[in-house]
Amino acid sequence: MTNQISRKVHLRFSADRDEIEVYSGELNALTLEYVKVALVNSISDPSDLVDQVVTIEEESVQETTKRYESTVIGFEESVVGETKFFTLILRRPSPLQERRFPRVEVNFPATIKIESDQPDSQTPVYEALASNLSVSGLLVILGLPDIKELNRGQVVGIRFELQFEEVLVFTLNAQVVRKQPIGFGGASNKYMVAFNFIDISPEIESQISHYVFSHQVGSDSLQTSDEDANQTPALKSEIYRLQEQLRAAHLRIKEAEESRIRSETIIVQLTRKLNEQGTIINRRNWWKFWDPDDDN
């Protein structure tokens, strides 16, 4: 069974210590044996990467960057117009999981509005029932009169409310990552559709994370004493405060990691250009070319 997902990753190839190639892409399919990564970089011959060891670096919002070791076992090619696009097929690392963030079962209405250039009166709007929620996305159940609507990759607007310490109203952009029909013993137009949120702010991430965490704690069925019950709100508050500090630290780590990846990519490109011009250098001494007075 192939699970369709949508997660940004970097693929790091290192034939030797002095040559590192980094490709960006979207991890868009996952099975028990392999994963697929659609590359956004141009590449002349993907067959050169087959059988090479690769490090998958996964971008994350609330966690430090995760790394998985894998091997390229093949590739797929598609052509749009005159442009070729490549998807690498990698062995699935055992630690790589389909879900990255904690989620909770929910039951509230959500309004789905398809992004369109048409006037608002002509833009399709669907009423759905949310099934589960995480900081990265939302799973809903809804009826679709046309099977061609809400296909994978389509961008929509989602509006929903969370009943928490106060009523929180969210209107977020999201992308369809999976659509699955729901059978009820006959012809049915009901579908389960999974969305990934797009470019949500740290404040909204924090609010949804707080909601998910609190409902996970609140769903614990263990019986507690009156004294424990009185301590629970303070404990929740302290854990949430520490969680917020950890989230902020992880965001700083993510920014530093992205800067490092950009720097290494630039170094590789500069080294290749200089080598093509006859100036033979490698990554360990590249800075001496730019600063001959540096003795370090």
Domains and CATH numbers, the chain: 3-91 (2.40.10.220), 103-208 (2.40.10.220)
Nearest to 177 by CA among 98, 113, 60: 98
SS3 call for 230:
helix
Average pLDDT, the chain: 76
Give the model's confidence band at 109: pLDDT under 50 very low, under 70 low, under 90 confident, else very high: very high
Which helix H or strand E contains 275, and what residues bound it? helix 226-276
Q: How far apart are CA 289 and CA 188, in angstroms?
A: 67
Q: Position of tokens 């030797």?
A: 16
Give the model's confidence band at 219: pLDDT under 50 very low, under 70 low, under 90 confident, else very high: very low
Low-confidence winner among 91-100, 219-228, 240-249 (lowest mean pLDDT)? 219-228
Give the model's confidence band at 177: pLDDT under 50 very low, under 70 low, under 90 confident, else very high: confident
Buried b (16+ CB within 10 A) or exposed e, 13-45: beeeeeebbbbbbbbbbbeeebbbbbbeeeeee
Q: Which residues pair with 289 in a beta bridge?
A: none
The yes-or-no verdict on residue 224 having pLDDT over 50 is no
Q: How far apart are CA 243 and CA 20, in angstroms?
A: 35
Which helix H or strand E contains 270, and what residues bound it? helix 226-276
Query: Contact, 208 vs 64, CB < 8 A?
Result: no
Q: Position of tokens 């697929």?
A: 36
Q: How far apart are CA 166 and CA 282, in angstroms?
A: 58
Per-residue pLDDT, 82: 78
The yes-or-no verdict on residue 91 having pLDDT over 50 is yes
Task: Tell me the pTM.
Answer: 0.49
Q: How far apart are CA 197 and CA 174, in angstroms?
A: 4
What digits encode the pLDDT tens for the residues 268-287? 777 777 777 665 555 555 55
pLDDT (average), residues 201-218: 78
Buried b (16+ CB within 10 A) or exposed e, 142-157: bebeeeebbeeebebe
